[in-house]
Amino acid sequence: MKERLKDRFFMFGAFLVLMGVVITGQLVNLQIVKGEYYDTQSQRRLLNNVQIVAPRGNIVDRNGIPIAVNRLGFVVQMIKTKTDTASLNEMLLRLVNIFEKNNDTYYKSLSKYLTINPFAFGSAVNQSESKLDKWKKEMAVKAKDVELMNTPEEVFRYLRTVKFKIDNKYTDEEAYKIMTMRYETLIRGYSSTSPIVLASDVSEETVAEVEERHNEFPGVTTDVEPKRKYIDAETTAHVVGYVRGLDQSEYERLKDSGYEMNDIIGKSGIELQAEQDLKGKDGQKRIEVDTGGRLTEEIDQKPAQPGNDVVLTLDLKLQKVAMDSLKKNIEMIRNKQGAANVKNNMGDAVAGSVVAMDVNNGEVLVLGNYPSYDPSVFLEGADNKEAQKIITELFDPNNEGKPAFNRAISGRYAPGSTFKPLVGIAGLEEGYITPDTIINDPGVYDVDGMRFTCMEYRNGQPAHGDLKLDRALATSCNIYFHKLGVMMGIDNIDKWARYFGLGDVTGIDIPNEAKGILAGKEYKKKVYNDEWRRADTAQAAIGQLYNAFTPIEMANYVSTLANGGKRFKPHLIKRVISSSDGSVVREEKPQYEQVPIKKETIDAVKKGMVAVTNAEDGTAVSVFHDFPFQVAGKTGTAETGDIHHSNNGVFICYAPANDPKIAIAVVIERGVFGYLAAPVAKDIMAEYFGLNGTGGTEDTVKPDEAVFTR
């Protein structure tokens, strides 16, 4: 029995020994005999997670005509491989040389912290010792090494020799290029499974060369991603705005909301306002790559979800007409051509703005500023010196035209005589006058030691004499409104100005709207610490003194008057459309407040505004004499207090007078007289009502006929 048990133990032990020999042999075979083969095979099957950038949503006008769309651009990206430091540095320099040869830009985050020629700290740290110290500590290999980085040149030497180990055979310029690329790998999560983008929107020549020489660039690959593209860019620049890459502070704030370091973000206009609608959700694909980062097989994919499309209330046809008309008429006034060749024209008209609204729902049909700019310039990289120069000039305070300035929502201008209909409304509603009340204009009017004069009287012509409201508006008689204003007081004027939204923001759905200034006791006390006087009321009643409103305020004011007292909230976004199924995500509904005004009051003021453009002595009759219907308007010549420049020209109107559809406000800086701004409104109306033979705004481009890419 014992012998049999002993034999069994022996056999079991032999079996274990045999199994050990087999396993050991297999390990030797795997790790030594065929170790190199299997290592190569495993390296050829690295799993790589590649981000699929989501296209931004399109921005289109009310008829589906594309304004901001997408195109495909090439990117160069890199994953981490088993490349030694010296070889990596050499490879990156070759890559930079290809970029620069083909005039491509590449990411240069290091330049925000350190530059050479001359050595200097960059914009991100040169104004803050604490930020500079923090950055140095992040760059130091050892904490005590910070003591070696006092000057910009010392930082450069440290990064070159200690941090990135760049060989002495390279010049400082070459070393800085290598350092720039290495810095990107440092801050963007460089790994063997997730690529980082080194250069975006590169040329086809660069792609071809990198692909052709791929053996020289282990881990470097090319791909495509969507890039923003603007159509008729300058026409809609101040509405659409622009996008640009995230800065460091934005990235820190938004990185937990799905934003990556390389992402772009809306910086102004609708691009900023509708950022959350327009931004898509990035996708991801998992692929197998070889040691050179080359694709061997795609495992799976989560597609990117494009951003939603934004449909504007803007009518691109009208917008183009408006922009062309602004440019044409400003140049005419500046060159003193035709009707612009008048007294007081110093030939210095430089800029203007126009807003047109649908009086029945608050939709903004036109929002234009001249001069304008091309928002595409902000898509260029920091290396494009010409683009950066243009951007600098756009925001240069000495640039008289201020092309980046959105005058329509942020420029504040004295309304001049366009304020007089409001004063008439206040007088009627508060019971100080009726439509038949006569106020005499003797040519001069003295208030508290100040003398006001009628413009005609000042120019040697007879004063207006006895006037009712309609003729006072038609002839824009200052004395009538000086007297009416003093008669009822500034509080009553301000009360009705606020009803019509003057002196406040309209709430338009676009960033950076400025709040208008309403002349009154509160404002004067707050700003000048002085008491209000009757002479102040006399000036405020003709739209001067401290009164200053934005063009969007003025357009909304005349729109409210035109529709009988509905003060709509102006809006530019009509609806948001889902990119996945074309359904309506959100539709903007008209919002308004009813002004407590009597129909008789509206009718009386409208009568005077119709006379402005139709009566023999109307201030704008020469502009609209050939229109097939009546336009109601009001001219305004606004003094700026600058004797070295011409007055501003302001014009407000709506049409048709008997059934209002559209309201317009025009401001031309240094435009001399209000009637010289009126032709801009006329051109817009002619297009809107199809008087140019274009069929008016009923002609549309169907969304599915518009050519654009995601």
Measure the CA–CA gap between 654 and 345, rounded to whole angstroms.
27
Q: What is the pLDDT of residue 463?
A: 87
Burial 281-299 (b: 16+ CB within 10 A, else e): ebeebebebbbbbbeeeee
DSSP3 helix / strand / coil % (the chain, rounded to 5):
40, 20, 35
Q: What is the pLDDT of residue 285?
A: 75
Integer angstrom CA distances of residue 496 from 61, 426, 522, 532, 708: 34, 6, 16, 18, 47
Nearest alpha carbon to residue 588 among 511, 508, 664: 508
How many C-alpha atoms does 59 have within 13 Å on its Cβ side?
A: 33
- Asked whether 445 and 477 are in contact (CB, 8 A), the reply is no
Provide CB contacts within 8 A for 623, sequence distance 6+. Answer: 613, 675, 678, 679, 682
Nearest alpha carbon to residue 602 among 435, 481, 359: 435
Burial class of residue 661 in the structure, from the number of CB atoms within 10 Å of its CB (0-12 exposed, 13-18 middle, 19+ buried): middle
* Mean per-residue pLDDT pooled into runs of 10, the chain (710 residues): 57 62 59 54 57 90 96 91 92 96 90 93 90 94 92 96 96 96 88 83 94 90 91 95 87 84 90 95 74 61 89 98 97 82 84 98 98 92 79 88 96 96 97 96 92 82 91 94 97 97 96 96 95 96 96 98 97 95 93 97 96 89 91 93 90 96 97 94 96 60 34
Torsion, Cα of 84, 87, 90, 92 (10° steps): -60
Provide CB contacts within 8 A for 342, sequence distance 6+. Answer: 336, 672, 673
- Asked whether 484 and 541 are in contact (CB, 8 A), the reply is yes
DSSP of 28-91: HIIIIISHHHHHHHHHTTEEEEEEEPPPPPPEE-TTS-EEEEEEEEEEEEE---S--HHHHHHH
Q: What is the pLDDT of residue 247?
A: 81
User: Tokens at residue 635, please?
Assistant: 């001219």
3-state class of 151 per DSSP? coil
Measure the CA–CA gap between 55 and 307, rounded to whole angstroms.
6
Sorted by where each starts, the structural domains of the chain and their CATH numbers stand as 316-373+405-698 (3.40.710.10)
Q: What is the pLDDT of residue 708?
A: 34
**pTM of the prediction?**
0.84
3-state class of 16 per DSSP? helix
User: Tokens at residue 13, please?
Assistant: 């032990």
3-state class of 668 per DSSP? strand
Residue 415: what are its φ and ψ, rounded to 5°? -75, -15
DSSP of 543-584: T-TT-BB-HHHHHHHHHHHHTTSEEE--BSEEEEE-TTT--E
3-state class of 363 per DSSP? strand
Measure the CA–CA gap between 568 and 501, rounded to whole angstroms.
10
Integer angstrom CA distances of residue 336 from 340, 350, 637, 672, 678: 5, 13, 17, 11, 16
Measure the CA–CA gap between 480 and 470, rounded to whole angstroms.
11
Longest pairwise C-alpha distance within the chain: 146
Q: What is the pLDDT of residue 68?
A: 96
